[in-house]
């Protein structure tokens, strides 16, 4: 057992200090849920058709239905085309009614959306339909790129400058970019802010649970990780309720991220640095200060001789991501875990971000998706303790993939069945995420833990 392990045993391996810390570290997961899945609602689409107000000048007393009949071509389903209209002509209304218009064009004057009163989204405000609809998907893809780059950059920063610094920095960035997104003047600024928001999310996701785990006994690392992430589904359920109550996407964005002001102030006051990390950096005095603080909260005293022995450990060699590729066993782990992360993320986000395409009410479906994540995350702990990480990860990830394939063979006119299979897939994908976070962090040493986690 290392000297720090003996110190941890003396001050309490999972006492009041650790429990209070883990409880506090649950808070950021609420906001990560808001940011990761938020565009499901801020990018909500509504039925639409081309704006044809040009006909009003010729027939100001036309009913809405008569205006559509004169200006919008019919589609195969008997409704009106969403992205085409009859070309505006400089003719009297009587001639148009008698002979009609034979040529069509795109929505040159924008689109009219059949949205509930007071409802808006980036789609309605920035006219992201028809030939601009790809910008919605591009926004989500660029957000994911932000997550990737944030993981690479902030993971390295955490190993170099500390977990506490990166968590506080990431919370500040998420506050700034999350709130700023609500004031976006156009879709391009919105996309840029979403990218930066995704960048900041990685710093929170990769480091918050590590602080809790490194302050606890190694046997409690999995427990700390899963508990820290257990409020993510609570955030998903809150998101569905808030989105239902606040249909205006700009106001929703402000409501979701403004509370981070309070969270940031609270964390600046209470969040400790990882003593394990401080020791690896040779910062003994700071480590001793944090240890004494933890011992005081736990009502324990740490023997001075143990604190003196920290000098004998000395600073660890500073690791970098290149070490993962230099050392053969770490390189093998990295390749295998990269594939596992790819599969888990593909299934999880594939289901989560398509919650509106299963045929049922999007708010209810999102609530159920969040609700099913709770037992998936909490239930993964006894599973990995009993069966081990490797077996559990293999089985549940395979089940998640099978559920996704099952959705493809179910007819679209059975939305309830599609949603049930999707919920089962979401359950398995969530459990896989919980296990892979624990498994990955345990496979790497402290100096490299957040570089690849």
Q: pLDDT tens, 266-282? A: 999 999 999 888 888 88
Displacement of CA 325 from its chain's centroid (Å): 28
pTM, entire model: 0.86
Distances (CA, A) of 323 to 134, 279, 327: 40, 20, 6
Q: For position 448, what pLDDT does the model report?
A: 53
pLDDT of 36 strictly over 80? yes
Q: pLDDT tens, 65-107? A: 888 888 899 888 788 899 999 999 888 888 888 888 888 999 9
CA-CA-CA-CA dihedral for 268, 275, 147, 126, to nearest 10: 0
Mean pLDDT confidence for 98-123: 89
Q: pLDDT tens, 384-416? A: 988 988 899 999 999 999 999 999 888 878 888
pLDDT of 327 strictly over 50? yes
Q: For position 317, what pLDDT does the model report?
A: 54
Please tell me the least confidently modeled range out of 18-22, 156-160, 210-214, 324-328: 324-328
Tokens representing 245 are 């109550």
Q: What is the C-alpha to C-alpha distance for residues 355 and 390, in angstroms, rounded to an integer?
A: 29
Distances (CA, A) of 98 to 59, 70, 101: 14, 10, 10
The residue behind tokens 């720090």 is 4
Q: For position 266, what pLDDT does the model report?
A: 94
Which class for 393: exposed (0-12), middle (13-18), buried (19 or more C-beta within 10 A)? buried
Q: Which residues contact 69 (CB under 8 A, 6 or more apart)?
A: none
Closest CA to 239 of 365, 324, 102: 365
Three-state secondary-structure class, residue 336: helix
Dihedrals phi, psi of 111, to nearest 5 degrees: -130, 155
């Amino acid at each position: 057992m290392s000297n720090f392990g003996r110190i941890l045993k003396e001050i309490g391996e999972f006492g009041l200090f650790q429990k209070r810390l883990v409880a506090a570290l649950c808070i950021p997961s609420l906001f990560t849920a808001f940011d990761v899945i938020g565009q499901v609602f801020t990018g909500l689409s509504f039925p639409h058709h081309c704006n044809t107000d040009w006909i009003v000048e010729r027939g100001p007393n036309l009913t809405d239905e008569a205006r559509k009949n004169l200006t919008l071509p019919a589609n195969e389903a008997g409704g009106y085309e969403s992205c085409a209209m009859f070309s505006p002509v400089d003719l009297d209304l009587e001639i148009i009614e008698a002979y009609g218009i034979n040529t069509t064009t795109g929505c040159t004057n924008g689109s009219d959306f059949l949205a509930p009163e007071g409802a808006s989204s980036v789609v309605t405000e920035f006219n992201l339909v028809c030939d601009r609809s790809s910008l919605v998907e591009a926004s989500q893809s660029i957000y994911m790129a932000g997550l990737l780059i944030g993981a690479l950059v902030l993971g390295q920063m955490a190993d170099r400058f500390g977990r506490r610094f990166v968590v506080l920095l990431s919370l500040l960035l998420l506050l700034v970019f999350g709130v700023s997104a609500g004031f976006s003047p156009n879709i391009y600024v919105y996309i840029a802010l979403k990218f930066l928001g995704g960048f900041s999310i990685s710093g929170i996701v990769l480091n918050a649970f590590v602080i809790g785990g490194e302050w606890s006994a190694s046997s409690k690392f999995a427990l700390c990780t899963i508990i820290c992430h257990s409020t993510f589904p609570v955030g998903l359920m809150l998101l569905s309720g808030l989105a239902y109550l606040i249909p205006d996407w700009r106001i929703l964005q402000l409501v979701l991220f403004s509370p981070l002001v309070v969270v940031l102030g609270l964390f600046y006051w209470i969040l400790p640095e990882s003593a394990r990390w401080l020791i690896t950096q040779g910062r003994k005095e700071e480590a001793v200060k944090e240890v004494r603080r933890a011992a005081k909260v736990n009502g324990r005293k740490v023997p001075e001789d143990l604190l003196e022995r920290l000098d004998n450990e000395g600073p660890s060699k500073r690791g970098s991501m290149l070490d993962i590729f230099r050392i053969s066993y770490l390189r093998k782990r990295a390749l295998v875990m990269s594939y596992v992360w790819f599969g888990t993320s593909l299934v999880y986000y594939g289901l989560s971000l398509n919650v509106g395409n299963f045929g049922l009410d999007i708010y209810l479906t999102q609530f159920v998706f969040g609700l099913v994540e709770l037992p998936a995350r909490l239930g993964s702990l006894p599973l990995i303790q009993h069966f081990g990480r490797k077996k559990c990860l293999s089985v549940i990830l395979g089940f998640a993939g099978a559920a996704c394939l099952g959705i493809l063979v179910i007819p679209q006119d059975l939305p309830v069945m599609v949603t049930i299979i999707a919920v089962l897939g979401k359950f398995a994908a969530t459990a896989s995420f919980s296990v892979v976070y624990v498994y990955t962090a345990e496979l790497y040493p402290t100096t490299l833990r957040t570089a690849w986690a």
